[in-house]
Chains A and B, each alone.
Chain A
């Protein structure tokens, strides 16, 4: 399964990169969302995929889990990454919107001067 997901991650990265290389700032934003998903899925896949074994200890058994369980550390990392991704996206979106109001053009090439 990780082979399949690895391919999907590759496609996500490729589309994200293609979009952030565009001159249109709206496409840049969409590329950022895809990039964030791609990165999360990359970490998720690289920590190993496990079916039907969430990192939850069943009630009653106060002891250690036996057998295979999904990697909780990677999940903790991704959980915060998802939320932070949202915060950064909001920041980027508002920044771009603000820049657009000043420059009045949906073109990255017109935002290359430091004083605009």
Chain B
């Protein structure tokens, strides 16, 4: 299992090289990897009805994070879709991007995305789930922005990234709260703790955070805007993102957590209403669009809304409907997107209005498209019909009436959208296209044909699908054993009546589409003021604020940086000191000071002031020397002979250094006005007073025992040395010293490099 997942990243890393090796057949060659995975996952199908399979590896044992995987009906359904559709996407991409120069890079990202997606649906640990979740965000960012020379593609990619990663941040918090409430990071444990989790005080905020993550990823209203923009990606990516992966990740998360979080009134209300609204807005915008990929993208928004709503309803039949709908949607949407790519590839047109009568030129594509569109419309023998019947039944039995109304209207409009895709480009008057239309090559057609045919076969053999595939998935979502009872024919009932009604309404809408567009123009203005506007505004504000704060903090003048740092430092120190004010006492004590000590400190202070006020370099350096040697004397007087010796030696060397360099710089100049000098003097005095106060307080307050006693006690028995300072340096804290001599060596190397640079400059 681990190899199946991590191997994907390995293959991704090798992909550019494999592409070189196989040349134009690399698509098929690389498709072997998802094909192998598909067979591997398919072999697990028979065992999955017996309960989840758990595999676990230690990852970060100290944090209790494991790389553990769980295979149950739900994750297996997703894994099969991801790897299965992946086969055709990779093969399709090989042909579709044949002319593109960066195909190797494309394969690498696509396969890495596939591996992340599989990791996401198979993870049992919340942390690894989250890591894979973010990996899908990042790789999909790279995929959407694949044509990075196109500004629109970059913008869309960044938009997708901001929205999904922003949601991801919320999700992480939510998942950590979930783990704290449920007492485990393992999903398999958490799923059995639904009652504890729902009763907990954190339930509402936790749910809000997790839903924010799922909704942004799955493009639910009001975050639906990024998905259609993601159409900037190459067509195989759109087909993959929309059918089986990326956007379904949010749905997967909702379905996965349903046993732990679902079933409450809050869950029902939020998911039901957000889902229904998304459904309606999605299909409305789809019907108003004319670009083929745009229409399909908005219909994906509709499907995602439907799925969210069904999971929110949470009844057995709603969950069955959700899983059936998910399967049906993955099949037809994958096929339709690839067909959109074929139209683009074969005719050069991306707009529905520019196409027509293509049946004559590309009959196989046309028939495939019609079959897939029938499934989208939910017409009788297709699997889409089965899913739609279940959708109607579940909505009729448990949803609020306004939701039912939205669903019925949405379904009728879906029929019209299906007709737009399945009829408009293929039949009727032949449109003039940029390129002469021709039938697509097998690599492009394989995916659509297989997926569309599966949509038909699954419909015809619905009970078999139920038993082998969906039963386990629905049980996993529900948290207990459920038999979905999929069947093509449920007898004559209300749902069938609604099906017929929506079909008729949809076809009417299709034929009156121009009038519909004309009379609904007003919604365009509404859409312009929509959430995307908010996104744009917040991004531009972000840029403005960061530009302002950069101008403010990054002035380029050293003294302003210093002033900001010093003022911040003083503010922080005084805040803490004032908070603890009552407990503090100044340890002022002038007893027992001898005369020579007074004299020494007087010399020190006088020398420091002289250094600051000196008008000549020699005077300043001499004053510095006086400061240094006085400090050395102080060290010696207060029992630090080692420090005294070191200080004297370093002081000597410092003077030599300054003599070598400083006197080759120009003399002192008076560069600032008296007012500025006064300001700096005030800041400097404030810092000095702060440090003095800090020291006086510190002298009187010892919060913790010193660890020096240990060093003193252990020096002889443990370190075999009588000079405790040296024992600390070379034995007790030798690692610190090692770091310090590395710093010294670095400083020397830096000096050497700078002087070398200068020598080279001069020799030029």
Contacts and interface: CB of A to CB of B under 8 A. Distances in A.
User: Chain A CB within 10 Å — which of B641, B691, B711 has the most?
Assistant: B691
Given A3-B589, A15-B611, A51 B685 contact: no
Nearest to A80: B740
A91 B672 CA distance: 27
Nearest to A86: B650
A111 B559 CA distance: 12
Nearest to B726: A76
Interface string A1-35: 11111111111111111111111111111100110
B642 A79 contact: yes
B542 interface: no
Contact of A79 (B624, B639, B725): B725
A6 B557 contact: no
Contacts of A29: 658, 662
Interface in B698-754: 698-699, 706-708, 711-713, 715-716, 722-725, 728-729, 733, 736-737, 740, 743-744, 747-748, 750-751, 754
A6 B692 contact: yes
Interface in A80-96: 80, 82-91, 93-96
Interface centre among A13, A53, A108 (most CB of B within 10 A): A13
B547 interface: no
A109 B557 contact: yes
A108 B680 CA distance: 15
B668 A83 contact: no
Nearest to A27: B668
Contacts of B621: 30
B698 A46 contact: yes
Nearest to A111: B558
A26 B620 CA distance: 10
Contact of B750 (A28, A51, A70, A91): A91
Given A78-B643, A79-B729, A94-B661, A11 B605 contact: yes
B754 A83 contact: no
Interface stretch (B68-76, B209-217, B351-359, B590-598): B590-598
B508 interface: no
Interface stretch (B394-402, B516-524, B630-638): B630-638
Given A11-B609, A22-B671, A87-B747, A63 B716 contact: yes
B650 A72 contact: no
A75 B642 contact: yes
B627 interface: yes
B587 interface: yes
Given A75-B725, A79-B729, A80-B740, A34 B624 contact: yes
Contact of B601 (A5, A65, A72, A97): A5
Given A15-B609, A22-B672, A86-B653, A106 B666 contact: yes
Q: What DSSP secondary structure best describes chain A's contact surface? A: helix
B628 interface: yes
Contacts of B563: 21
Interface string B653-686: 1100110011011101101100000001101110
A33 B624 contact: yes
A1 B647 CA distance: 21
A101 B724 contact: no
A75 B724 CA distance: 10
Contacts of B556: 112-113
Contact of B593 (A1, A54, A57): A1
Contacts of A65: 712
A18 B684 contact: yes
Nearest to A95: B754
Contact of A21 (B662, B668, B684): B684
Interface of A: 1-30, 33-34, 37-38, 40-42, 44-59, 62-65, 69-76, 78-80, 82-91, 93-98, 100-101, 106-109, 111-113
9 contacts: A12-B608, A12-B688, A26-B668, A44-B635, A49-B638, A79-B643, A90-B747, A112-B557, A113-B556
Interface of B: 555-559, 562-563, 566, 587-590, 592-593, 597-598, 601, 604-605, 608-609, 611-612, 617, 620-621, 624, 627-628, 631, 634-635, 637-643, 646-647, 650, 653-654, 657-658, 661-662, 664-666, 668-669, 671-672, 680-681, 683-685, 687-689, 691-692, 695-696, 698-699, 706-708, 711-713, 715-716, 722-725, 728-729, 733, 736-737, 740, 743-744, 747-748, 750-751, 754-755, 757-758
Given A18-B684, A69-B639, A76-B733, 8 more contacts: A2-B589, A8-B601, A49-B638, A54-B639, A72-B708, A90-B657, A95-B750, A106-B666
